[in-house]
């Protein structure tokens, strides 16, 4: 068995950060299978596109023939599945795409992996891993006083997105318990950092702030999220792949609970220092918009299991990570300009303008 992994969805935000860190860290060969939907961007991977240890294949995890051919050709010891539709607002407008990619796509990938795994010799069979990357949103919503999500929390998804991810998690669990497949599942909190598509809060606020547009905050901004710097998430996944117990789930969090309003205020204050306006503060651009349907009040991850069992904990605080993130966006405006044309503008129009909020 070669020192090779297949990463699905490796041109997206978290996936591309993982692929970059894997190849630059010389962890072995990496084959990246990505459908290249709106959020998949090969520009994220320009730094390694000529590296002999990196291979890109455009394809869909739902295409069994493509997946079978890759498994046969590259003989990986692991599949790391990032491929997913991953935005709540998009799932409210178009849930069908989420069902197709997150549930049916994961099923097809599992079936291909199971057939491949069954044909391996005993040694390779025991070394193989299928690592499924998921989200804290499958656990539902917390009150202000509830303890943070543990791996034993019941699933209570509240959006088409989180329901589709919950279904995919259940499929992965079932393939381990029914067929004995060596699976691992990780459930992470909100990621942030380089190459984040600007439909999500942090990059959207940075982009709008610099372009003099209103900074949209749902409701009163009191919704709470735990924030995880993407490089920390990538290191955690590598650690789970290396030493995680087969069949187990590991929650990955940053221990950084912040309200949305706190996050936006922090971004404005950093931008006031790093790229000040001619007059006033970026906080002056804050505007409150109609809350999204079924908006979960609070997510929080208890990441004590992965620290206790695998010795992993995040290297970045929110303060260090958010400064790195803002500086990255300020020095990569060409990347931002390229991804905020076309499909992104269509999304802003559908998500805000059609609801009567003139933000674009």
Q: Quick check: pTM over 0.75?
A: yes
pLDDT at 296: 84
Asked if 161 is an active-site residue, the reply is yes
Tally of CB atoms within 10 A around 284: 11
CA angle 60, 63, 64 (to 5 degrees): 135
**66 pLDDT above the threshold of 90:** yes
Which residue among 34, 60, 89, 136 is the active-site one? 136
Which residue among 60, 89, 137, 316 is the active-site one? 137
Just give the CATH number of 4-197+227-258+298-316: 3.40.50.720
- Look over the chain and give the mean of its residue pLDDT values, rounded to a whole number: 92
**348 pLDDT above the threshold of 60:** no
Query: Alpha-carbon distance 171 to 350, whole Å?
Result: 32
Asked if 192 is an active-site residue, the reply is no
Task: Kindly report the length of the chain.
Answer: 360
CA angle 234, 237, 242 (to 5 degrees): 130
pLDDT at 104: 96
For 2-14, what is each residue's pLDDT tens digit?
A: 799 999 999 999 9
What values do phi and psi take at 63, rounded to 5?
-95, 100
Give the rounded percent of residues in the chain with a pLDDT score beyond 70: 93
For 28-59, what is each residue's pLDDT tens digit?
A: 999 999 999 877 899 999 999 999 999 999 99
User: H helices of 180-255, where?
Assistant: 201-210, 230-243
**67 pLDDT above the threshold of 70:** yes
Query: Alpha-carbon distance 329 to 198, whole Å?
Result: 11
H or E element, residue 249? strand 249-252
C-beta of residue 186 within 8 angstroms of C-beta of residue 131: yes
Neighbouring-strand partners of residue 133: 186
Query: What burial letters (b/e) apply to 122-141, b meaning 16+ CB within 10 Å?
Result: eeeeeebbbbbbbbbbbbbb
Asked if 226 is an active-site residue, the reply is no
Q: Does the CA dihedral 224-203-230-266 come out positive or negative?
A: negative
**72 pLDDT above the threshold of 90:** yes
Which residue among 139, 161, 195, 229 is the active-site one? 161
For 302-346, what is each residue's pLDDT tens digit?
A: 999 999 999 999 999 999 999 999 999 999 999 988 888 755 556
Tell me what the mean pLDDT of segment 255-272 comes to: 97
Q: HSE-up of 256 (CA within 13 Å, CB side)?
A: 25
pLDDT at 94: 78
């Amino acid at each position: 068995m070669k020192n090779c992994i297949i990463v699905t969805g490796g041109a997206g935000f978290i996936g591309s950060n993982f692929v970059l860190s894997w190849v630059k860290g010389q962890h072995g060969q990496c084959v990246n299978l990505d459908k290249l939907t709106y959020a998949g961007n090969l520009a994220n991977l320009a730094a390694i596109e000529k590296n002999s240890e990196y291979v890109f294949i455009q394809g869909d995890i739902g295409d069994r023939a493509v997946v079978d051919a890759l498994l046969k050709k590259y003989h990986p010891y692991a599949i790391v599945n990032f491929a997913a539709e991953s935005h709540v607002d998009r799932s409210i407008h178009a849930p069908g795409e989420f069902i197709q990619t997150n549930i049916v796509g994961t099923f097809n990938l599992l079936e291909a992996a199971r057939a491949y795994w069954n044909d391996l010799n005993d040694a390779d069979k025991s070394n193989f891993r299928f690592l499924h990357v998921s989200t804290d949103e499958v656990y539902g919503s917390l009150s202000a006083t509830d303890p943070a999500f543990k791996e034993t929390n019941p699933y209570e998804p509240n959006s088409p997105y989180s329901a589709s991810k919950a279904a995919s998690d259940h499929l992965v669990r079932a393939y381990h318990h029914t067929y004995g497949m060596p699976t691992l599942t990780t459930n992470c909190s909100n990621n942030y950092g380089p190459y984040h598509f600007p439909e999500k809060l942090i990059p959207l606020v940075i982009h709008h702030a610099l372009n003099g547009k209103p900074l949209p905050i749902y409701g009163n901004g009191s919704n709470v999220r735990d924030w995880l710097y993407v490089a920390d998430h990538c290191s955690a996944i590598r650690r789970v792949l290396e030493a995680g117990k087969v069949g187990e789930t590991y929650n990955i969090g940053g221990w950084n609970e912040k309200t949305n309003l706190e996050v936006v205020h922090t971004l404005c204050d950093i931008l006031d220092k790093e790229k000040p306006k001619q007059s006033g503060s970026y906080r002056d651009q804050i505007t409150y918009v109609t809350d999204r349907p079924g908006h979960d009040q609070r997510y929080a991850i208890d990441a004590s299991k992965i620290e206790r069992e695998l010795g992993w904990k995040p290297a970045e605080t929110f303060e260090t990570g958010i400064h790195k993130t803002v500086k990255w966006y300020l020095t990569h405006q060409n990347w931002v300009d390229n991804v905020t044309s076309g499909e992104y503008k269509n999304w802003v129009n559908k998500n805000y303008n059609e609801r009567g909020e003139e933000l674009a």
